[in-house]
Structure 1
Amino acid sequence: MSKDLISRRRFCYSALAGLTTVSAGRLPLVGTQSLSARAGAPLHSIELAAFEHKRVLAAANRYLGERPITLTGSSSPRSAGGKHDYFSEGDYWWPDPKNPTGPYIQRDGLSNPDNFTAHRHALIRLGVQVPALTAAWVLTRDGRYAHHAAEHLRAWFIRPETMMNPNLQYAQAIHGRTTGRGTGIIDTIHLVEVVRSIPHLAESKALNHSEQESLKHWFSDYVEWLATSKNGQEERDAKNNHGTWWVAQVAEFASFVGDTRQMDFCRDRYKTVLIPHQVAADGTLPEELRRTKPYNYCLFNLAGLTTICQVLSTKEDNLFAFALPDGRGLAKAIAFMFPFLKSKTSWPYAHDVEYYQYWPIRQPTWLFAGVGLEQPEYVSFWKTLPDEPEVEEIVRNNPIRQPILWLDRKTSV
C-alpha cells in the first residue's frame, strides 16, 4: 500500500474525530438496503454528528412551528390539470414582444418572474423541512421532530383531500406551446431526500406500517410513471443534468420501494450513458459548459452524479471509482471542478448570467466524493464552505442538504 493512500485513510479517520456517534445509516425497512451494503465495505470511520448538530437543530427548530403546505393550497388558471396535479412553468420562457398574446419565446438562463411558482415553492419547502426535521431526530431522538416530519408526508402523499398525484404531467408548461414537458421532472429532485428520510421516520415510530405502505405505493406509482410515460422517457434521454437527475431520482425511489430492476437499470445507465456522454477526456462537462450558467450547472450535475453513486454503490461495485477504459469517470470530473471551488477567480469559462456570486456552497457532493474516492482534501474543503443558503435559486439547485441521512454512524472511507 502506498504512503499516499495510507495518509489519505488516516486523514479520513481523523477528519471529524471526536464527534458524537449517531445512528444515521439507512435502515433495512420498507424495502431499503442498509447503507453499509450500499456504500461499500468500511475501512475507517469519521463521524458527522457534532459537526452537523448546531446547523441541523437551528433549522429544524424553526420548522417545528410550520404547518404542511401542499399543492391543493394554490392553483393556476393556466394549468391543464386538476387540483391534485403538480403544475409549473418553464423558467426561461417569456412573452414575445412581437406577438404579446402568442406563444412564449425562450431566453435561456433568464427566469420569468411572472411564472406560476407556488407548487414549486411548496415542493422545495417540503424537500427542505422534512429532511431537516428527520436529521434532527437522528441527532437527538426527540420525537417532536419525527412526528412533525411525518405530518408533512401524510399531507403530501397519503390524505386524499391534500395528496399530490404521482406524476408530473403538467410540469414546466409553456404558454401557447405545451401543457407540460419532460424537463419538468427536474422539479421533483427535492423528493430524493424526502424519501431518504422515510426509513428513519419509520424507525422513530412516527409512521405506522400502513402509512409506510401507502408511501411505498405512491413512490412505486411515480417510478412507473417516470419509466414509462412520454415525459419521463424524454427526461431520461436528456443529454445533460436533466438525464443525470432522472437517474438519481429513479435510483433513490426504486431503492426505497425495493424495485431492484430499476436500480439495476440506473446502475447500468450511469456506466453506459451518463459517464460516456457527459464527461469529456479532460474531465469537463461539455453539456453544462455551453449553458448560460456553466459554473452552477457543472456543480449541479456533479451533485446528481455523486448522489447516484451514493445510492447505488455496493461493496462489489463502487460507482465512485468506476471509469471507462479511457479514464473518464466521476473522479476525473470531480478533479476538473475542484480547483475552481478553491479558487473561483481562476474559472476560465463564461460567468453565469445570474447568481454566480452565491456559489459555491456546502454541497454534499464533496463529502460524498471525498469518502467514495478516498480523497481527504475534498472532505476537508467541504467543511469550509458556507452552509444554509437563503437565496431561493441556490436552495432550488441544492436538493441534497442533510448528509447525516446518507452516511452511516461511522462514515466508511
Structure 2
Amino acid sequence: MDQSQQVKEQIKKKLIEGDRPWIISKAEQALRTEPRHITDERAAMSEGGPHDYYSNGDYWWPNPDTPDGLPYVQRDGESNPDNFNAHRLVLREMRTHVAHLAAAYAVTGEEKYAARAARWLKEFFLDEETRMNPHLLYAQAIPGICSGRGIGVIDTLHLIDVPQAVYALQGSAEWTEELTNGLKRWFADYLHWMCTHTYGIDEMNATNNHSVCWFVQASVFARFTGNEERLAFCRDRYKHVLLPGQMAPDGSFPRELARTKPYGYSIFVLDNMATLCHTLSVPGDDLWTFELADGRGIRKGFDYLYPYLTDKSSWPYPPDIEHFAGWPARISGLLFAGIGLGRPEYIRLFESLERDPQDTEVRRNIAVRQPVLWI
C-alpha cells in the first residue's frame, strides 16, 4: 500500500469511528422503510407513462395574467412548492436509504443491511412492474411551454451514490451477479441516453453548474460500466472546457455569483468539481494538481471559497434569496479536497459541519449522502 492510500485508509477509519452510530441509526431506519418507486406516484401533467420520471422546473410559477395559469412564468431562485416533486423525492429517498444501508454493511458486515439494499435497487431499477426507465425525457417540464428539458438531467445527480453502494455490497452473500449486471445495463443505457439525446447534449454543453453535474454523473456511471472512452472524454472536458469556461482567475465561479443564491450555488458547483477530481484522477493524470497556464484549478477554487465557509459573515455578496441560513453544511468536496490537495484543515471543517441538514433545499444540493462509500 503506497503512502497516499495509507492516508486514505487512516481518514476512512477515523470517519467510520466518528460516524458509526449515525450510519447504523440511519440504516436501521431504512430497514423499517418499505421500498418506494416512481410508479407509486402518477404525474398528472406528464406526457410519459408510469415508468417515466417527471418533474417541474423549480422556479416556474402559474401565470397570473392568464385564466388557466399557462404558460408558467419564471421567478429565479424562488422554488414553487406546488410543482410536482414526488418523483424527485422518491428517487432521493431510494438513494439515501441504499447509501445508508451499504455504509452500514461496510462497517458491520451484517447481511440484513445488504439484503434490504439489494431489494431497494432491484425494485427501483430492474423489476418490470416498478422500474424507472433509463431516460429523463420529462424532467423539469414547464407547463404550457415544454414537456421536458435538458436541465432536467441534474435531477439524477443523486444517483451517483448508487454505484458506490454497489461496490460496497459486492462481498455480501445477499448480492448476486445478476443484480450487478442488471444495474450496469441500466446505467449504461442511461449514460448512452445522456450522451446522445438532445436533452443530454444540451446539458453537457451548459455553461454553469449544470454541465459540471452532467460530467459528474457521466464520469461516475462510465467508471461503473467500464466505459474508458467516456472517462477520457470527461477528463479532457474538465481541463479544456469546464475550468477555462467557468472559473475566474480568483477561483470564483462568476455565473453562480450572478444568481439570486450566490453562496449556495458557489458551494454546490465547487463541491461537484471536487467530486469530478476525485472520480477522474488516475496515476499519471491527477486533476487535483492540474492547472491552466494562469493558475486556475481546483486548488484555486478552494482557496477562494474556504474562508467564506469558515466565516460566512465575511461573504462579500448579498445573502441568498432563499436557504442562506442552511449553508454551509457537510459537503463531501471538502473531504475529497482535503485528501487530494493534502489540506487537513478542509477535513477538519468537513467534520465540524452538519452531516444531516434539515433544510430540504440544502439536502437536495448535496450529491453524496455517505462519503465513507467514496474513500
Residues 181-203 of structure 1 show CA distances to partners (whole Å, capped at 9, x for unaligned) of 01111010110001211122222
Give distance in 2, aligned partners of 1:71 and 1:329: 39
Query: Which of 339, 345, 350 is equivalent to 1:371?
Result: 339
CA contact (8 A) 1:41 1:315 kept: no
**Cα 1:200–1:42, aligned 2, differ >3 Å: closer, same or farther?**
closer
Partner in structure 2 of residue 274 of structure 1:
242
1:118 counterpart = 2:86: yes
Query: Which of 252, 257, 279 is equivalent to 1:284?
Result: 252
> 1:206: Cα distance to partner?
2.6
1:93 counterpart = 2:93: no
Look up the SS of the partner of 1:111 in the other structure. Answer: coil
> 1:49: Cα distance to partner?
1.8
> 1:205: Cα distance to partner?
3.1
Look up the SS of the partner of 2:308 in the other structure. Answer: helix
Look up the SS of the partner of 2:55 in the other structure. Answer: strand
Query: Which of 18, 22, 28 is equivalent to 1:55?
Result: 22
> 1:43: Cα distance to partner?
5.9
Q: Which runs of 5+ in 2 are unaligned?
A: none
Residues 381-410 of structure 1 show CA distances to partners (whole Å, capped at 9, x for unaligned) of 111111111222111111212111011xxx
Look up the SS of the partner of 1:321 in the other structure. Answer: coil
1:406 counterpart = 2:374: yes
Look up the SS of the partner of 1:88 in the other structure. Answer: strand
1:221 counterpart = 2:184: no
Look up the SS of the partner of 1:333 in the other structure. Answer: helix
> 1:146: Cα distance to partner?
1.0
> 1:58: Cα distance to partner?
1.6
CA contact (8 A) 2:106 2:169 kept: no
Query: Which of 47, 57, 77 is equivalent to 1:109?
Result: 77
> 1:41: Cα distance to partner?
4.8
Q: Which runs of 5+ in 1 are unaligned?
A: 1-35, 408-413
Question: TM-score normalised to the size of structure 1?
Answer: 0.88
> 1:83: Cα distance to partner?
0.4
1:306 counterpart = 2:274: yes
Look up the SS of the partner of 1:271 in the other structure. Answer: helix
CA contact (8 A) 1:127 1:399 kept: no
Give distance in 2, aligned partners of 1:203 and 1:276: 42
Aligned length: 370
Give distance in 2, aligned partners of 1:94 and 1:385: 34
Partner in structure 2 of residue 321 of structure 1:
289
* Identical-residue share of aligned pairs (%): 44
Give distance in 1, aligned partners of 2:108 and 2:159: 23
Residues 352-408 of structure 1 show CA distances to partners (whole Å, capped at 9, x for unaligned) of 11110011111111111011001111111111111111222111111212111011x
Query: Which of 338, 360, 364 is equivalent to 1:392?
Result: 360
CA contact (8 A) 2:38 2:53 kept: yes
CA contact (8 A) 1:185 1:235 kept: yes
Q: Report which structure shows greater RCO (CA 8 Å, sep ≥6).
A: 1
Give distance in 1, aligned partners of 2:221 and 2:109: 25
Query: Which of 149, 155, 178 is equivalent to 1:181?
Result: 149
1:151 counterpart = 2:114: no
Query: Which of 204, 210, 228 is equivalent to 1:260?
Result: 228
Give distance in 2, aligned partners of 1:347 and 1:54: 34
1:207 counterpart = 2:170: no
Query: Which of 116, 140, 165 is equivalent to 1:197?
Result: 165
Question: TM-score normalised to the size of structure 2?
Answer: 0.96
CA contact (8 A) 1:303 1:363 kept: yes
Look up the SS of the partner of 1:383 in the other structure. Answer: helix
CA contact (8 A) 2:261 2:319 kept: yes
Give distance in 1, aligned partners of 2:335 and 2:35: 31
> 1:308: Cα distance to partner?
0.8
**Cα 1:331–1:100, aligned 2, differ >3 Å: closer, same or farther?**
farther
> 1:207: Cα distance to partner?
2.3
Partner in structure 1 of residue 306 of structure 2:
338
The letter of the residue matching 2:172 is: S
